[in-house]
Amino acid sequence: MKSGLVLKRHEFLINENIIEIWNDGKFIGQVTGLDGRGIRVVSKYPITAEKDPNVVGGNITVLEVKIGEL
């Protein structure tokens, strides 16, 4: 099953948003912004990330982030 994303207001930081990550009806993590240029992926489950080798050329980088089971 493909994971889904839900945009929500941050619970504590006014005027900030988070993106919740859901899979099979289960909340598995969230994405928040960082100071500067970047994001933070937060989960209680193990996280791995790797660059997608199938994206070739240009100025595009695709990073696949996978959230595993406990």
Q: What are phi and psi of 51, to 5 degrees?
A: -75, 135
> What one-letter code names the amino acid at 62?
V
What tens digit of pLDDT does each residue of 8-45 get?
Answer: 998 888 889 999 999 999 999 999 999 899 999 999 99
* Separation CA 45–CA 38 (nearest Å): 21
What is the pTM for the complete model shown?
0.85
What tens digit of pLDDT does each residue of 40-63 get?
Answer: 999 999 999 999 988 887 888 999
pLDDT at 45: 98
Q: What is the domain count for the chain?
A: 1
Domain that holds residue 38: 4-67
